[in-house]
């Protein structure tokens, strides 16, 4: 791909970058692209999609709609994706006519846990013991030492969905039936000490840069807290994680921003969990703690611009803000607050902001940076935004983060 310069004119129109998907990751990509001078186009079927509402163009069609894809190609010089479940055939169609990063074959591997595991093994990166289950014969052949384990659907699983813990063979059989006997991967449960992730960006010419290793805490299968400070991950282990991530990206001939998630076992060993072919929740801290964000690098890789090694200038903690925070305290027994509604909650009286978290108190804390995603309604488990906390020292950042947790009703960590 040739370099697409910011503010340039292509075929008589401003240089435009496209994104498949209109969620919060697309929204932050759009903001980064616009800050650099690009026009943007979003393809997403939701008329109120967070990215579509801030983009120059919103193509409101299904991801496989031929006219929608044609319109996206007409408007854009290069196209990316903001979530891994965009149909790979749509990216293949786009890639035949426009530069698409990441490419459809890399996204297809990320969409299939079995193919993903095979790629990790091919790259020489340690994985948890596992078995692919697609048939009754494969189910019967599962080795006893893989139990207890976690049965995961091979496709369309995220944030803990499509996963069932099983202790016995009978539970395994029942779980596969519960998952409607779709292709699955059974992973042996391992004693976990920690979770971490690495975000890299790789250009079309093979340049690769990375952010520091991030320590992650999940609750209910959803990322809750990310800490990125010196010492949160053993330096030797961090070096190993970065090397493994680069090997995975290189093996895919990947172009774009890639996140690789790892488990740290009780014995200190590192095993890879999964990849996300896009910016990642655990990298949101880069918006406020680094001289370049993960979305800046997504723009650079898509436009063919040079990559420079990002620098973290402040210790940081990221708190994920779920829709649960918009619920009134449990003793009030309220329904969820719908943003911009007019007092339909029985406990809210006529106050349309009933249930809105106390952002004024949170923002009174030093080093707090609030990012809300523009979603019109709050639901339990829905990602509504994130709060970045930066400061001069890791200790100060942690103290402020715990104060924010107390104000918001988030379980401390």
| Coil, strand or helix at 17 | strand
| Coil, strand or helix at 76 | coil
Q: Which residues lie closer than 8 Å to 395 by C-beta, 6 or more apart?
A: none
> What is Dmax (Cα atoms) for the chain?
64
Residue 76 located in a structural domain: yes
> Which CATH number do you get for residue 148?
3.30.1490.20
Kindly state the DSSP code that residue 312 receives in the 8-state scheme.
B
Residues 354 and 255 in one domain: no
Per the structure, the complete domain to which residue 58 belongs is given by 9-100
Residue 119 located in a structural domain: no
Residue 385 located in a structural domain: yes
Number of structural domains found in the chain:
4
Q: Which stretches does DSSP call E strand in 203-250?
A: 208-210, 214-219, 222-228
Q: Is 282 exposed, middle or buried (0-12, 13-18, 19+ CB in 10 A)?
A: buried
> Which CATH number do you get for residue 273?
3.30.470.20
> Which CATH number do you get for residue 94?
3.40.50.20
Residue 2 located in a structural domain: no
Two structure tokens written together for 372:
């809300």
Kindly state the DSSP code that residue 298 receives in the 8-state scheme.
H
Q: What is the pLDDT along the chain (413 residues), one digit of tens a residue?
A: 689 999 999 989 999 999 999 999 999 999 999 999 999 999 999 999 999 999 999 999 999 999 999 999 999 999 999 998 899 899 999 999 999 999 999 999 999 999 999 999 999 999 999 999 999 999 999 999 999 999 999 997 666 678 999 999 999 999 999 999 999 999 999 999 999 999 999 999 999 999 999 999 999 889 999 999 988 999 999 999 999 999 999 999 999 999 999 999 999 999 999 999 999 999 999 999 999 999 999 999 999 999 999 999 999 999 999 999 998 554 333 444 444 333 344 344 456 666 899 999 999 999 999 999 999 999 999 999 999 999 999 999 999 999 999 999 999 99
Residue 140 located in a structural domain: yes
Question: Does the reported pTM lie above 0.85?
Answer: yes
Helix (H) or strand (E) holding 28: helix 24-35
Tell me the C-alpha distance between 239 and 231, whole Å: 12
Tell me the C-alpha distance between 308 and 276, whole Å: 22
Q: Which of 303, 324, 341 corresponds to the end of one domain? A: 303
Residue 120 located in a structural domain: no
């Amino acid at each position: 791909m040739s370099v697409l310069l910011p503010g340039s004119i292509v075929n008589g129109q401003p240089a435009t970058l496209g994104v498949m998907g209109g969620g919060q990751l697309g929204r932050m990509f759009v903001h980064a692209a616009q800050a650099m001078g690009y026009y943007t186009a979003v393809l997403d079927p939701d008329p109120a999609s967070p990215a579509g509402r801030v983009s120059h163009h919103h193509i409101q069609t299904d991801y496989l709609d031929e006219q929608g894809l044609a319109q996206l190609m007409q408007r854009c010089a290069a196209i990316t994706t903001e979530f891994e479940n965009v149909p790979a055939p749509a990216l293949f169609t786009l890639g035949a006519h426009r530069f698409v990063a990441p490419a459809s074959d890399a996204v297809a591997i990320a969409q299939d846990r079995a193919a993903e595991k095979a790629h990790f093994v091919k790259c020489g990166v340690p994985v948890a013991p596992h078995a692919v289950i697609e048939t009754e014969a494969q189910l019967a052949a599962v080795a006893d030492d893989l139990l207890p384990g976690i049965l995961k659907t091979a496709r369309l699983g995220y944030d803990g969905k499509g996963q069932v813990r099983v202790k016995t063979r009978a539970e395994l059989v029942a779980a596969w039936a519960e998952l409607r006997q779709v292709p699955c991967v059974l992973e042996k449960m391992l004693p976990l000490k920690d979770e971490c992730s690495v975000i890299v960006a790789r250009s079309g010419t093979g340049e690769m840069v990375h952010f520091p290793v991030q320590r992650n805490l999940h609750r209910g299968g959803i990322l809750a807290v990310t800490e990125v400070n010196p010492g949160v991950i053993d330096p030797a282990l961090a070096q190993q994680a970065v090397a493994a991530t680069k090997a995975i990206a290189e093996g895919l001939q990947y172009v774009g921003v890639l996140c690789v998630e790892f488990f740290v076992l009780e014995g200190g060993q590192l095993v890879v969990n999964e990849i996300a072919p896009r910016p990642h929740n655990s990298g949101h801290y880069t918006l406020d703690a680094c001289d370049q964000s993960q979305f800046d690098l997504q723009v650079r890789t898509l436009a063919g611009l040079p990559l420079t090694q990002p620098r973290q200038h402040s210790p940081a903690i990221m708190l994920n803000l779920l829709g649960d925070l918009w619920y009134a305290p449990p003793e009030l027994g309220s329904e969820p607050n719908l943003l911009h509604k007019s007092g339909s909650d029985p406990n809210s009286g006529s106050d349309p902001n009933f249930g809105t978290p106390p952002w004024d108190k949170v923002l009174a804390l030093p080093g707090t940076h609030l990012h809300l995603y523009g979603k019109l309604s709050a639901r339990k488990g829905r990602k509504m935004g994130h709060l970045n906390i930066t400061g001069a020292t890791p200790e100060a950042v942690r103290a402020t983060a715990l104060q924010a947790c107390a104000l918001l009703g988030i379980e401390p960590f």
